[in-house]
Amino acid sequence: MVSTAQVMVRALGSSDRLAAVTLINRAASWYAEFLAPAELDEPEMTLAGWADEGRRMTWYGAFEGPRLVGVMGLEYAGDAVLLRHAYVQPDRQRQGIATLLHDRLERESHGVERIIVGTYAANYKARAALEHFGYQLSADPEAVLRQYYDIPEDRLRSSVTYEKLLDRHPATDRSTAGQER
């Protein structure tokens, strides 16, 4: 196992697309454990799909040397940021790669007060990770999905959203800081 200290996160470019799509499709094979066969997309991501997604969001990758071991996308959508397409190579899962990507993208999120992440309702691994990162299940996931995502109805019915407010303010009120009480 390689330490996450040896992992570099950077924005992906067009030269990374084949490695990214290969990684996404390999990691998405996990969906077969909780989705009905009719709900699976084979492949989960195509080269054209990756390029289409890249027109509205920035892809980030986690690298161990030259090897791409994780991907995640950052999309600005009005008053929120969407974290999308989070995938980690199966042999590197549960080793901190998703945390590195998540933390980097959260730091890259500027000018918004919240981050939204959508996932399959049955994807218990993603849901546990989101809760670990401090996300709360949206009060009305269907409304959030309809407002921020362009996904087919079957995926909308089988998905949920999580939200996290960004703490961009100091813990103390500056107007009273340093005053005697």
Domain ranges (residues) in the chain: 4-165
- What kind of fold does domain 4-165 have according to CATH? Aminopeptidase (3.40.630)
Q: Examine the pLDDT at 97 and tell me if it is beyond 60.
A: yes
pTM of the model: 0.86
Predicted confidence (pLDDT) per residue in 10-28, tens digit: 999 999 999 999 999 999 9
pLDDT at 28: 93
pLDDT at 177: 36
Tell me the C-alpha distance between 27 and 20, whole Å: 11
CA atoms within 13 A on the CB side of 85: 26
